[in-house]
Amino acid sequence: MDPIARFVELLERAKKTPAIAEPTGMTLSTVGVDGRPSSRIVLLKGIDARGLVFYTNTRSRKGREIAAQPGVSLIFWWPQLESQIRFEGNAVRVTEAEADAYFATRPRLSQLGAWASDQSAPLRSREELEERFAELDRKYAGKPVPRPSHWSGYRVTPLAVEFWRNRSGRLHERDLYTRASADAPWTMTLLNP
């Protein structure tokens, strides 16, 4: 089975599991120019044969790290399903049209927040952020909020996908799918737990 299709089946199960509060939450790990890894939770906003999509401020730490080193990993951990799925691949910006289309679906407050927050930059006070937000709210009162040029999405094209499933006696199942490039066929290897 194609690992993307296999993942989508698991994702649908996770979405139907009430105990999983945020089934699309995934840990994104990037690497800085200093070689140090950095991880944070982002939300999966799209998936197809080309890869997994999330959106963010491109001037944030993650955006800067992806620009310098596009190799990333994503992890979904669903303890209620006793499953972890790990992706490794390269992140590339989505098209301007894709970013515009998604931004238009966001709640107005989130759109204003994308303008107000200089994500990952030092902030003198919470009041400073709230004042910027209020100013933008007045500026765009009664008008559509345009997408900031520094806000976009990334598509992670997977080159490796590992499915881990809990089993008794720590004899877990591990299926690793790999391919040499985005156009190459997948190869599946069973791994020792």
pLDDT grade for 121, boundaries at 50, 70 and 90 = confident
**Which residues, other chains included, contact 75 with Cβ-Cβ below 8 Å and sequence gap of 6+?**
26, 27, 29, 84, 85, 86, 87
Q: What phi and psi, each to the nearest 5 degrees, are found at residue 130?
A: -65, -35
pLDDT tops 90 at residue 61: yes
CA distance 183 to 49: 10
Helix (H) or strand (E) run with residue 67 in it: helix 61-68
Which tens digit of pLDDT belongs to each residue from 162-174?
Answer: 999 999 999 999 9
- What residues are labeled active site? 170
Summary mean pLDDT of the chain? 96
Answer yes or no: is pLDDT of 134 > 80: yes
Give the Cα separation of 165 and 169 in Å (integer): 12
For residue 166 the two structure tokens come to 């809990």
What's the CA gap between 177 and 4, in Å, rounded?
10
- Domains along the chain with CATH numbers: 3-105+149-190 (2.30.110.10)
pTM of the complete model beyond 0.85: yes
DSSP per residue, 85-114: EEEEEEEEEPPHHHHHHHHHHS-HHHHHHH
Nearest partner of 66 among 58, 54, 55, 74, judged by Cα = 58
pLDDT, tens digit, for every residue of 65-120?
999 999 999 999 999 999 999 999 999 999 999 999 999 999 999 999 999 998 88
What Å distances lie between residue 13 and 43, 45, 85, 130, 166, CA to CA? 17, 17, 13, 39, 16
